[in-house]
Amino acid sequence: MTQAIEAYLLAVEVERARRAADPWLTIRVQEVKRFQHARFSATYSDLLADPASSQAARFFLEELYGPMDFSRRDQQFRRVAAKVTVLFPGEIGRVVLSLARLHALSEQLDSAMGAATADLPLVEASYCNSWRRVGRPEARAEQISLVQEIGLALAKQVRRPLIRSSLRMMRGPAKAAGLDSLQSFLEAGFNAFQALPDAAAFVRTIAARETAIAAALFESRD
């Protein structure tokens, strides 16, 4: 499992190096991320506006769909990858593995979208055209499946007091070890899901909407 996590994080670094060598690709990938961030805000405006789900929706928006640079967090993640399955065995280890896979797959698809994009800024029509040029429906479906898998696992884990107390106890050591960014991400995720009245329903809502949007794009519908 550790080797797989490290391989996925290495794949992310490969995408970053590819973009660093091509400034125009970097610009286009950032535009893809900006558009997807705005699209998520529109698609889930109801969840963002609802006090019961706003924290979790904001976590997805900023931590998974955000256009920010996550390289520092990823570097910290890679430093402790070998210890993840020791510190968090079983289901949590599998969540970390799925998260790393999702990250690598998303970065690869974003690079492909950037390479398929000609005109900037992106609008709905040009984004749809880029999506269809890239294709890869199986990879898109896997993205959605991984999001649902991670979300449902987090929903289950946040109900376990031991996990919550362990995270709180890690704050000081994480900061001292230079892992503050990774610690903030983990706490934000657990706090967001703990605040949900029905986390499973929230995750299923996102999976259903993303599946419908992907189907519409591949079928050339708005």
Among the listed residues 222, 214, 203, the one whose alpha carbon sits nearest the alpha carbon of residue 150: 203
The whole model's pTM is what? 0.86
User: What per-residue confidence (pLDDT) applies to 100?
Assistant: 85
Query: Residue 148: which domain range?
Result: 2-218
What is the per-residue pLDDT across 79-129, written as a single tens digit (0 to 9) for each? 666 666 565 556 667 777 888 898 899 999 999 999 999 889 999 999 999
Read out DSSP for 8-69? HHHHHHHHHHHHHT-HHHHHHHHHHHHHHHHHHHHHTHHHHHSTTTHHHHHHIIIIIS--S-
How many domains are contained in the chain?
1
Low-confidence stretches of the chain (pLDDT beneath 70) = 65-68, 72-73, 76-92, 161-167, 170, 173-182, 221-222
Q: Give alpha helix (H) positions in 135-222.
A: 137-157, 161-169, 171-176, 180-194, 199-218
Residue 42 φ/ψ region, left for φ over 0, alpha for ψ in the -120 to 50 degree band, beta for the rest: alpha
Residues found in the chain? 222
